[in-house]
Amino acid sequence: MGESGLMYSSINDMLKKKGLAKDSNINMDNNSSKPLFQTNCEGLIGYYNSLNKNQRIIYRKYQTNDARHLQYRGLDASYFASYEETVAYIEKLQTVGPAITVYYQGQIAACWGFAQLVPGVFEAWCLGSELFNQYPVATTRTAKFVIEQGAKYLAAHRIQVTVLANNKVANNWASVLLFNKEGLLKQFGHDKQDYVMYAKYY
């Protein structure tokens, strides 16, 4: 989340197993023709907007190419070989959990979501814009809101994030968001960089 950028390890393994098929029948809601994650996404967005007291912030369902309209930070491009790979990966994340675009005063502030690993366990991901750097306090407050309320709505008992081990800002931010540091993940990145796993329990 936030400065931590994309998380793509366990999610990536899951995407491979599921074949990344958008029209897959995996996790179909018995009362809907939509995949369950889409039903959760629409409900989660409505839930966020019903609780949101800041009229400058709007939560909407992630639309294809939203990430390409983001004034992204160079940091977020470092999680893959190129920014295009990063954007392509976000497109795939829509298949495994709620994917949401956050607007601040009409601008895309972030694209983020929760990828379900197993029932009750989610990995949070986020691609942030330069607005994160301009409004750090508001960004942190919003991040706490979306994580805590998201965990409640999704009935999560664990939400995890991974951050680059050498990114002090990302690691500090995970601590500010009250994530528990679990351990070092050696050669976890595409370029063999080390990462740190953090998690919250509910």
For every residue of 23-92, DSSP letters joined together read: T--TTB-TT-SSBHHHHHHHHHHHHHHHH---TTEEEEE--TTGGGGS-B-HHHHTTSSSHHHHHHHHHH
Angle between helical axes of 136-154 and 36-51 (0-180°, round to 10): 130
Tokens of 56: 């400058």
- Nearest-CA neighbor of 137 among 176, 110, 179, 106? 176
Residue that is written with structure tokens 């989610």 in the block: 122
Please name which of 69, 67, 95 lies closest in space to residue 6, comparing C-alpha atoms: 67
Q: Per CATH, which fold does 2-157 belong to?
A: Aminopeptidase (3.40.630)
Amino acid identity of residue 130, one-letter, is E
**How do residues 84-141 score in pLDDT, each as one tens digit?**
787 788 888 888 899 999 999 999 999 889 999 999 999 999 888 888 778 888 889 9
What is this structure's pTM? 0.77
> What is the pLDDT, as a whole number, of residue 39?
52
* SS3 state of residue 18: helix
